């Protein structure tokens, strides 16, 4: 499953990643871009798990 997302650095230097799954927003943050994407991936997986998605689902974040 491909999930479009945005990644940006805020004014305090924290990296923030955002994605939407249907009507649910997911967010991640970290000290680096990679940490923010990893945090976002965990949030996306939790939303998918709650919706009953297969545990074998592969999630790819398409970050801009």
pLDDT tens across 1-51, in order?
888 999 999 999 999 999 998 789 999 999 999 999 999 999 999 998 888
- Model pLDDT, residue 22: 79
pLDDT value of residue 13? 97
* Residue pair 53/21 in contact by the 8 Å Cβ criterion: no
Nearest to 46 by CA among 30, 29, 64, 25: 25
Place 61 in a pLDDT band, splitting at 50, 70 and 90.
confident
Position with higher pLDDT, 59 vs 21? 21
The three-state DSSP-derived secondary structure of 2-64 is EEEEEEEECCCCCEEEEEEECCEEEEEEECCHHHHHHHHHHHHHHHHHHCCCCCCCCCEEEEC
Beta bridge partners of 58: none
The rounded distance, in Å, linking the Cα atoms of 49 and 41 is: 12
């Amino acid at each position: 499953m491909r999930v479009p997302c945005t990644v940006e650095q805020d004014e305090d230097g924290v990296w923030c990643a955002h994605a939407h799954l249907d009507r649910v927003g997911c967010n991640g943050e970290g000290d680096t871009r990679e940490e923010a994407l990893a945090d976002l991936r965990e949030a996306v997986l939790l939303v998918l798990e709650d919706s009953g998605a297969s545990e074998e689902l592969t999630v790819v974040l398409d970050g801009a």
